[in-house]
Copies of this chain bind each other. A is one copy, B any other.
Amino acid sequence: MNDERQPATSNPLLQLENQLCFPLYALSRMITKAYQPLLQELDLTYPQYLVFLLLWEHQELTVKALGEKLLLDSGTLTPLLKRLEQKQWISRRRDPRDERSVVIGLLPAGRELQKRACQVPEQILAKLNMPPQEFETLRRQLNTLLTQLG
């Protein structure tokens, strides 16, 4: 019952291999999977890791700011941040100057995490095994496309 019979699709635009979306979708998941064993040692998921990248850089950010930078909404961030709060890695408090905003801050344990995360990027680069030149070109190309669509 295996596949390779005559394609029925007259329209090549409707074939998986001609899509741009699919390799993006698949590659994104594969890279997340490449991070998984490294992040597991830190007890982090990939989206949680992205949140920490921002917090290590900025110490404090509102949920709104995190959402803007990561292109995620509160429906995704709120439960994620609550899980990090429960682990005592971050703090969540209302901004006294604007009670609508929730400010996310690093707790000591969350700050400590950075030391152990330092090796993650290098290990990923090693896994990808990609020429730095090519890496940089692709990164820039994707970022350009991202800002064009955003």
Contact = CB atoms under 8 A, between A and B. Distances in A.
* Interface residues of chain A: helix, strand, loop or mixed (majority): helix
Chain A residues touching B, range: 35 or more
B149 A16 contact: no
A146 interface: yes
Interface string A121-150: 110100011100001001101110110111
A50 interface: yes
Contacts of A60: 1, 3
Contacts of A56: 8-9, 14
Interface in A44-71: 46, 50, 53-54, 56-62, 65, 69-71
B142 A16 contact: no
